[in-house]
Amino acid sequence: MVAEGGVRLDRALVALFPDLSRARLQDLIREGQVRRDGTPVRDPAAKVGAGAQLALTVPQPKAAEPVAEAVDLPIVYEDDDLIVIDKPAGLVVHPAPGHESGTLVNALIAHCGASLSGIGGVRRPGIVHRLDKDTSGLIVVAKNDAAHQGLTSQFADHGRTGPLERAYAAVVWGLPQPRTGTIRASLARSRYHREKIAVVSDEAGRHAVTHYAVAEAYAEAALVRCQLETGRTHQIRVHLAHRGHPLLGDGVYGGAFRTKAARLLPDARDALTALGRQALHAELLGFSHPRTGQTLRFESRLPPDLTALVTALRAEAEGPACL
């Protein structure tokens, strides 16, 4: 193809091959898969002269590194570009040390099969955002590089200029005041506990914003709806704990509140024990389809374990013991 002159090679290729991400094109350049006037060029920043002939070779996607595993998936929506899953609690999203198999990625490789066209040159699903293992709810995954690029840009923009929406239901200890508000607190990996995220100064961490509103108040807890303006690791869990209202069942950020379970009535206490995880559910996910531009919006009801907890807390708040 013929490129316009005076631009970087990688930028010229983005204009000529919009279905490939710039990062993917840079990798192909470094691998020697791009020729300028018949000569391989390995520098993404190389300038392209007017009328230069550019040729790109895209190798066939390699086999996915994670193995395919047949796992039942609650599919909310699927087309040639993406798939939306209502992830159950306990399902790890991506293989990692200690969780090399049985993950959402393993399941999607088996489910999608040949329809995966290659994310970054590997035949695998494109993870755009993640949910903690013990967080349930909606997650979208790309099937090809173009969809991955389009969804990634929306999540990076955090809905400032597009229709991206992410909302969560959380059950927290106590009653947040004010009942509606915004938490702005920068986050970073804890210096003392590497598995934890901590609130830090703006200079030391990444900007993080969570909007919240109390939906129901109970005797010892509250159902809170949270809207993400940013998407940092453990953001909702850390922000609410920082405000003194950790999630019920959160052993990482709510350990100091563990004894509060004894103040619950038996039904609520039993429901919390049965939950066995942090009380957090991704209940709303909206975005623009990366190919058609159509706005897609999905909602997920609370799963049975969280419904049982909310029902018991609601009954406790309405009972004689709370009058």
132 is catalytic: yes
Nearest by Cα to 239 from 193, 190, 183: 183
Structure-block tokens of residue 207: 């900007």
CA-based angle 166:139:19, to the nearest 5? 100
Integer Cα distance of 159 and 286 in angstroms: 9
Structure-block tokens of residue 20: 């490939």
Nearest by Cα to 16 from 48, 54, 50, 44: 54
Integer Cα distance of 297 and 312 in angstroms: 30
Structure-block tokens of residue 3: 């490129």
Structure-block tokens of residue 5: 């002159």
Structure-block tokens of residue 70: 């047949």
**Side-chain-facing half-sphere of 264: CA atoms under 13 Å:** 26
Helices (H), the chain: 9-16, 22-30, 104-112, 145-157, 235-242, 266-275, 304-318
Contacts of residue 273, Cβ cutoff 8 Å, sequence gap at least 6: 261
Contacts of residue 196, Cβ cutoff 8 Å, sequence gap at least 6: 189, 190, 234, 252, 253
Nearest by Cα to 90 from 140, 129, 141, 135: 135
Of the candidates 81, 86, 132, 305, the residue annotated as catalytic is 132
SS3 assignment, position 137:
strand
Residues that are catalytic: 132
